[in-house]
Amino acid sequence: MQRQSASPATRASNGWTAALILGLTFACYWPALNGGLVWDDSAHVTRAELQSGAGLWRIWSDPHATQQYYPLLHSAFWIEHRLWGDATLGYHLANVLQHATAACLLVLILRRLNVPGARVAGLLFAVHPVCVESVAWISEQKNTLSLVFYLTAALAYLRFDRDRRHPSAHRAYLLASLLFILALLTKTVTATLPAALLVVFWWRRGRISWRRDVVPLVPWFVLAIASGLFTAWVERRLIGAEGAAFDLTLAQRCLLAGRAIWFYLGKLLWPVHLVFVYPRWDVKTAAAGWTGYLALSVLVTAALWILRRRMRGPLAAWLFFVGSLFPALGFLNVYPFLFSYVADHFQYLASMGIIAAVSAGAVRLLTRAGPALLRSGWGLLAVLVAALCILSNAQSRTYADELALYHATLERNPGCWLAHNNLGVYYEVRGDPEKAIAHFQEAIRLKEDYADAQRNLGNILLKTPGRSSEAIPHFQEALRLQPERADGHDNLGNALLNTPGRLDDAVAEYLEALRIRPGFAEAHNNLGNAWSRMPGRLNLAIAQFEEALRLRPNYAEAHNNLGAALTAQGRPAEAVAQYEEALRLMPDYAEIRFNIAMALLRIPGRSSEAAEQLEAFLRARPGNEAARRILGQIRATPP
């Protein structure tokens, strides 16, 4: 079969389309380009311990190493961190460019399939507001990047399907398979691609051939099922998508799916009042009233099935939309269901089916209209694109920073306990404990069994002078809700450590944390602190500090604590080495210099070095009278 290359006019037209898509995409997302990290972005952007070559190996070999086990996604983040470090502009640009690329690929695929309105569909997808969450939120690079692989895999497979008798067909098949694997390694929702291809082939040919259409996709279905099962296991066992919050019957899950389908279709056709976190439906009480949604879904499917003899396109678009949504309809547990059963980013891929169908229908009507109606129709489409651009631009502004995002969320979802908790963290990091405490308390008022908010409130009370005892009941409540949280036992241990008469109880909590998580460096360090305060247990304390450092060699606090224990044991020279390492890791922590000075004073002939450390300490803490008095004594003592 001889393949024809595109004409110069076609190439020029494609170039102008790509330029228009890129320009409009940037117009939509300009406000978000300098946006900061929000919610779980810090867990996706490559952490310090994963930034080396060994860290890249861990991204692939250790499912616990990253927020989700999507190794190609986190490899992309790893490369991006090498390119621009922590500068968020680079990550936002990557998302925007990948989204624009996906829109261009959608145009190419629809043109390959001879679907009318391919360019219109690409433009609408590029500027549609339901895509904002996927493009403006750095963490959702999993959506934009996986969609690029998904669409290139589809394009390559369509080339294989067209050129099966051509000598290069097997290369097209292998390329398509490789791209499909890359898509799965970026986000598992792309596992729906082989089913989507069968829908496309049925739409084009009116039937599915087992040998021609199904057999070549069998390996893809095997990969898709394996990937889906593995991700479901990761979501349940490693991320925590199990328990009472996910305890729904099959009937309730079916009703939830029916409700979700119409929610997503509604937001796609009327994209207003979009929210980062939508209200979480009470499925167990509301599902009985959702029968109509499920019944309507069945009726629409049946009606489109009957209509298929006249036109197969509407049914194909509907099947693509619902099938691509399937992983997020409630039949599988995913962690975000703790906050809401729906999210705009869940329909990022699925939205292409409805957008393509609407675009094709509109263009068909316009081409059959008279010249006057044709001009008016194209004008209305231009107005629609402009309106969607304006809505997307406004929506992307909410991703400027965490404060803007969570306040916008609470304006439209006042009961969003997650937003209150995250605002509490925001204000805690910025040194405003009063606002932080107020938001944590509001999160708990809205959701009494919110363990994270209980822990967060306990942590900030622990650090607030005079309120450490108030932290204990919050840590205890968090542990009642999640008894196997090692960090919860560690937190409670820290509160008990500073409570008179509760030292033994603190030790018990640290030991329980280490039983749950043996490699918990912070718990080893804290247990060392507790034992260093107990008579006759200094050797045990030193062993704990050393174990913490074995687990985390750059753990500055453990170096400092080990230095204190060695000083108390009469080993000041070794203590100085530990303090100096702590100071190297935390050069702004002036108190370490005071500790070094105290250890140096115990070593004959090193008082002048101690004086230098005290002088440096006093430059940072000029009001410390104890250090000033010791420095005066050193100066008054003859060398």
Buried b (16+ CB within 10 A) or exposed e, 157-171: bbbbbebeeeeebee
Retrieve residue 586's tokens: 């935390």
- pLDDT tops 90 at residue 261: yes
Amino acid identity, residue 3? R
Q: DSSP states of 568-598 as a string?
A: HTT-HHHHHHHHHHHHHH-TT-THHHHHHHH
Quick check: is 551 in a domain?
no
Quick check: is 272 in a domain?
yes
Residue of 31, 43, 16 whose CA lies nearest to 398: 31
Quick check: is 296 in a domain?
yes
Retrieve residue 559's tokens: 């170096």
pLDDT grade, residue 52 (50/70/90)? very high
Q: From the CB of residue 590, how many other CB atoms can be counted at a distance below 10 Å?
A: 18
For the segment 474-487, what is each residue's pLDDT rounded down to a tens digit? Answer: 999 999 999 999 99
Quick check: is 565 in a domain?
no
Please provide the distance, in angstroms rounded to a whole number, between the alpha carbons at the two ends of the chain: 96
Indicate the helix (H) or strand (E) that contains 418: helix 417-429
- 230 and 101, same structural domain? yes
- pLDDT tops 90 at residue 395: yes
Range from 32-46, 211-225, 368-382, 496-510 carrying the lowest mean pLDDT:
368-382
- pLDDT tops 80 at residue 372: no
Q: Write the burial class of residue 586 (CB in 10 Å: 0-12 exposed, 13-18 middle, 19+ buried).
A: middle
Q: From the CB of residue 587, how many other CB atoms can be counted at a distance below 10 Å?
A: 11
Choice between 387 and 465, residue whose per-residue pLDDT is larger:
387
How confident is the model at residue 1, as a pLDDT? Answer: 43
Crossing angle of helices 193-205 and 169-184, rounded to 10° = 140
Mean of all residue pLDDT scores within the chain: 93
Residue pair 497/513 in contact (Cβ under 8 Å)? The answer is no
- pLDDT tops 60 at residue 221: yes
CATH number at residue 446: 1.25.40.10
Q: Write the burial class of residue 266 (CB in 10 Å: 0-12 exposed, 13-18 middle, 19+ buried).
A: exposed
What mean pLDDT is predicted for residues 414-418? Answer: 96
Quick check: is 430 in a domain?
yes
- 428 and 395, same structural domain? no
- pLDDT tops 90 at residue 638: no
| Backbone angles phi and psi of 464, in degrees to 5 | -90, 120
Interatomic CA distance for residues 362 and 371, integer angstroms: 15
How confident is the model at residue 396, as a pLDDT? Answer: 96
For the segment 522-558, what is each residue's pLDDT rounded down to a tens digit? Answer: 999 999 999 999 999 999 999 999 999 999 999 999 9
- 420 and 383, same structural domain? no
Share of the chain above pLDDT 70, in %: 98
How confident is the model at residue 51, as a pLDDT? Answer: 92
Quick check: is 197 in a domain?
yes
Residue pair 153/176 in contact (Cβ under 8 Å)? The answer is yes
For the segment 98-155, what is each residue's pLDDT rounded down to a tens digit? Answer: 999 999 999 999 999 999 999 999 999 999 999 999 999 999 999 999 999 999 999 9
Indicate the helix (H) or strand (E) that contains 9: helix 8-29
How confident is the model at residue 67, as a pLDDT? Answer: 84
How confident is the model at residue 9, as a pLDDT? Answer: 66
Please tell me the total number of residues recorded for the chain in this structure: 639
Interatomic CA distance for residues 135 and 142, integer angstroms: 10
- 350 and 265, same structural domain? yes
Report residue 616 CA to chain centroid gap. 42
pLDDT grade, residue 374 (50/70/90)? confident
Quick check: is 120 in a domain?
yes
Retrieve residue 185's tokens: 């390694």
pLDDT grade, residue 4 (50/70/90)? low
Residue pair 55/46 in contact (Cβ under 8 Å)? The answer is yes
- 202 and 113, same structural domain? yes
Choice between 39 and 346, residue whose per-residue pLDDT is larger:
346
- pLDDT tops 90 at residue 8: no
Interatomic CA distance for residues 522 and 518, integer angstroms: 11
What mean pLDDT is predicted for residues 431-449? Answer: 95
Please identify, among 342, 372, 402, the residue that sits at the C-terminal boundary of a domain: 402
- 322 and 291, same structural domain? yes
Report residue 372 CA to chain centroid gap. 49
Residue pair 503/532 in contact (Cβ under 8 Å)? The answer is no
What mean pLDDT is predicted for residues 565-589? Answer: 93
Number of domains in the chain: 2
Retrieve residue 585's tokens: 């890791």
- pLDDT tops 70 at residue 43: yes
Range from 74-88, 311-325, 622-636 carrying the lowest mean pLDDT:
622-636
- 26 and 153, same structural domain? yes
- 443 and 305, same structural domain? no
- 442 and 376, same structural domain? no
For residue 469, the enclosing domain spans 415-482
Crossing angle of helices 521-532 and 486-497, rounded to 10° = 20
- 428 and 384, same structural domain? no
Quick check: is 528 in a domain?
no
How confident is the model at residue 376, as a pLDDT? Answer: 86
What mean pLDDT is predicted for residues 266-287? Answer: 94
- 389 and 423, same structural domain? no
For the segment 228-252, what is each residue's pLDDT rounded down to a tens digit? Answer: 999 999 888 878 788 888 899 999 9
**pTM to 2 decimals?**
0.86
Residue of 500, 490, 510 whose CA lies nearest to 469: 500
Residue of 571, 561, 570, 556 whose CA lies nearest to 530: 561
Please identify, among 347, 375, 402, the residue that sits at the C-terminal boundary of a domain: 402
Q: 277 Cβ partners below 8 Å, 6+ apart? A: 339, 340, 343, 409, 413, 416, 418, 419
How confident is the model at residue 479, as a pLDDT? Answer: 95
For the segment 155-201, what is each residue's pLDDT rounded down to a tens digit? Answer: 999 999 998 888 888 999 999 999 999 999 999 999 999 999 999 99
> Largest alpha-carbon pair distance within the chain?
106
For the segment 506-516, what is each residue's pLDDT rounded down to a tens digit? Answer: 999 999 999 99
Residue pair 77/186 in contact (Cβ under 8 Å)? The answer is no
- pLDDT tops 90 at residue 288: no
- 426 and 381, same structural domain? no
Retrieve residue 365's tokens: 């009507």
Retrieve residue 169's tokens: 């067909």
Q: From the CB of residue 307, how many other CB atoms can be counted at a distance below 10 Å?
A: 13
Q: What share of the chain is helix, strand, coil (3-state, %, to 5)?
A: 75, 0, 25
Residue pair 597/617 in contact (Cβ under 8 Å)? The answer is yes
Residue pair 474/461 in contact (Cβ under 8 Å)? The answer is yes
